[in-house]
Chain A
Amino acid sequence: GAGVSQSPSNKVTEKGKDVELRCDPISGHTALYWYRQRLGQGLEFLIYFQGNSAPDKSGLPSDRFSAERTGESVSTLTIQRTQQEDSAVYLCASSLARHPEAFFGQGTRLTVV
Chain B
Amino acid sequence: DAKTTQPPSMDCAEGRAANLPCNHSTISGNEYVYWYRQIHSQGPQYIIHGLKNNETNEMASLIITEDRKSSTLILPHATLRDTAVYYCIALAGTALIFGKGTTLSVSS
Q: A: which residues have CB within 8 A of B?
A: 4, 33, 35, 42-43, 45, 48, 55-56, 59, 91, 93, 98, 100-107
User: A33: which B residues are within 8 A, CB to CB?
Assistant: 95-96
Docked complex Cα distance between A101 and B37 (Å): 12
Choose among A43, A45, A103, A104 the residue with the greatest number of B CB atoms under 10 Å from its CB: A43
- Dominant secondary structure at the B interface: loop
Q: B: which residues have CB within 8 A of A?
A: 32, 34, 38, 42-46, 49, 85, 87, 93-101
Determine how close the nearest CB of chain A comes to the CB of B91; give it in whole angstroms: 9
Also in contact, A42 and B99, with CB within 8 A (given A56-B94, A98-B93, A100-B32): yes
User: B42: which A residues are within 8 A, CB to CB?
Assistant: 106
**15 examples of A-B residue contacts, CB within 8 angstroms:** A33-B95, A43-B38, A43-B87, A48-B95, A55-B94, A93-B43, A93-B44, A93-B96, A100-B46, A100-B49, A102-B44, A102-B96, A104-B43, A105-B43, A106-B42
